[in-house]
Structure 1
């Protein structure tokens, strides 16, 4: 059977849902992780005796420790959310072939 010149195989496969929401959430999570790094650095600079980076906000020892811990939690939460969004973006439900995850690895152990 001869195919016509206007044949497009992509039309045969149903389109998946738009992934702009997950991309937006991944960007927001990356910004959250960046803010966590900045707060962590400001808290650690205050603990090390450098001049306070945020003015009177972290003058005391307790405020510096709280900034340090808040920065760590924001960094951890942002990286975790970013990884979940990236995993969700890479998983194409509906369009993907049903292969074992072990077969999809680039460098797996050979048995």
Structure 2
């Protein structure tokens, strides 16, 4: 079978919806993970007694422990959602063919 140079198989496939929602969700999840890291570090610093700029967190260990747990939960949730979005973004939605079955071109 002769293939012409102007043939493009992508024109035959219908265009799917854009994946900007998943990209936005991945960015938001990465931001949540970063905030979780910062909250965890602030809570740990307050528990260790080295948090001069945290204000009222120096007074009680309960507030510092709450901040530490909240930061860990936010970090865990951010990483989980980010991984889910990245997995969905990388999932192929077009026709798939094994590379060894395609015609070799010089």
1:40-79 to 2 correspondence within 5 Å?
Answer: 40-56=40-56, 58-59=57-58, 60-79=60-79
Give the whole-Å Cα distance in 2 for the aligned partners of 1:61 and 1:69. Answer: 12
Contiguous gaps of at least 5 residues in structure 1 = 100-111
For residues 49-81 of structure 1, give each alpha carbon's deviation from its aligned partner in whole angstroms, at most 9, with x where no partner exists. 10244222x121000000000000000000000
- Report 1:88-103 matches (<5 A): 88-93=88-93, 95-97=94-96
Partner in structure 2 of residue 12 of structure 1: 12
Distance in 2, Cα, partners of 1:86 & 1:96: 20
Distance in structure 1 (CA, Å) of the matches to 2:68 and 2:52:
13
What is the count of residue pairs matched by the alignment?
97
Task: Identify, as 1 or 2, the structure richer in helix.
Answer: 2
Look up the match of 1:21: 21
1:12 Cα deviation from its structure 2 partner: 1.3
Bigger drift between 16-25 and 67-76 goes to 16-25
TM-score by length of 2: 0.80
SS at match of 1:78: helix
The two structures have a TM-score, normalised by structure 1, of 0.77
- Structure 1 stretches of 4+ moved >4 Å: 1-5
